[in-house]
């Protein structure tokens, strides 16, 4: 209910800072302030008691948010290897003898996405004809009208998409 008192907001911040991330609580506080401004009410979040609650939260939670690990070639290779091992165990247990086409496609998509830095829309709108293999093992990807041709030395993704192309033709 509006207007909220500074004491209520400080208690809200204290309670939520125990279970929510600092960024989430800050977003809540910002939303409360925006609602009060939109209603033409004074901003209770500007009160000293609220600022002290935010300082308490920052002291216990820290000011920096934890970042996700970067996605790099090592993590891509590890992800592909783990999926390949998982598929192998499943195939053996189910009596399959061939690698499913969808698994080859997904592996190739992950590698091409990483190597080319394509947006999701560009990646899913790409066609197999947009991929060209170079003599040195590199690949060229043609990306729609918005971007010029992007060339990527992508030996790993080129080698991963080849089994998929061969299987599709079979």
**Are residues 48 and 123 located together in one domain of the fold?**
no
* Chain-centre distance for alpha carbon 34: 28
**Are residues 156 and 79 located together in one domain of the fold?**
yes
Within-domain flag for 152: yes
Give the CATH number of the domain where residue 99 resides: 1.10.443.10
**Are residues 139 and 80 located together in one domain of the fold?**
yes
Within-domain flag for 31: yes
**Sheet containing 150-152: order of strands:** 131-133, 139-141, 150-152
Q: Residue range 59-70: average pLDDT?
A: 77
Q: Are strands 139-141 and 150-152 parallel, antiparallel or unpaired?
A: antiparallel
Owning domain of residue 90: 73-160
Of 68, 61, 69, 153, the residue nearest 115 (C-alpha) = 153
The mean-pLDDT minimum among 12-16, 48-52, 107-111 falls in: 107-111
Residue 60 near residue 54, CB atoms below 8 Å = no
**Are residues 77 and 156 located together in one domain of the fold?**
yes
**Are residues 56 and 125 located together in one domain of the fold?**
no
* Cα–Cα distance, 166 to 108 (Å, whole number): 12
Total domain count, the chain: 2
Residue 121 near residue 79, CB atoms below 8 Å = no
Beta bridge partners of 141: 131, 150
The token pair at 85 is: 């091992």
Q: Residue range 49-64: average pLDDT?
A: 89
Confidence at 155, pLDDT banded by 50, 70, 90: low
The token pair at 165 is: 């192309």
* pLDDT above 60 (res 170): no
Instruction: Tell me the backbone φ, ψ of residue 67, rounded to 5 degrees.
Output: -100, 150
* Cα–Cα distance, 120 to 104 (Å, whole number): 19
Confidence at 31, pLDDT banded by 50, 70, 90: very high
Tell me what pLDDT residue 164 has: 47
Q: Residue range 69-94: average pLDDT?
A: 77
């Amino acid at each position: 209910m509006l207007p909220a008192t500074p004491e209520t907001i400080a208690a809200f911040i204290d309670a939520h800072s125990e279970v929510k991330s600092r960024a989430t609580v800050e977003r809540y506080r910002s939303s409360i302030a925006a609602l009060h401004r939109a209603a033409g009410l004074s901003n209770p979040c500007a009160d000293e008691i609220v600022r002290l609650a935010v300082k308490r939260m920052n002291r216990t939670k820290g000011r920096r948010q934890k970042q996700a690990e970067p996605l790099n070639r090592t993590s891509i290779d590890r992800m592909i290897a783990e999926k390949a091992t998982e598929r192998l165990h499943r195939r053996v247990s189910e009596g399959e003898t061939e690698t499913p086409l969808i698994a080859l496609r997904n592996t190739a998509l992950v590698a091409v996405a990483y190597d080319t830095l394509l947006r999701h829309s560009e990646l899913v709108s790409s066609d197999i004809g947009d991929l060209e293999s170079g003599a040195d093992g590199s690949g060229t990807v043609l990306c729609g009208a918005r971007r010029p041709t992007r060339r990527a030395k992508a030996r790993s993704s080129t080698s991963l998409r080849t089994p998929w192309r061969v299987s599709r033709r079979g």
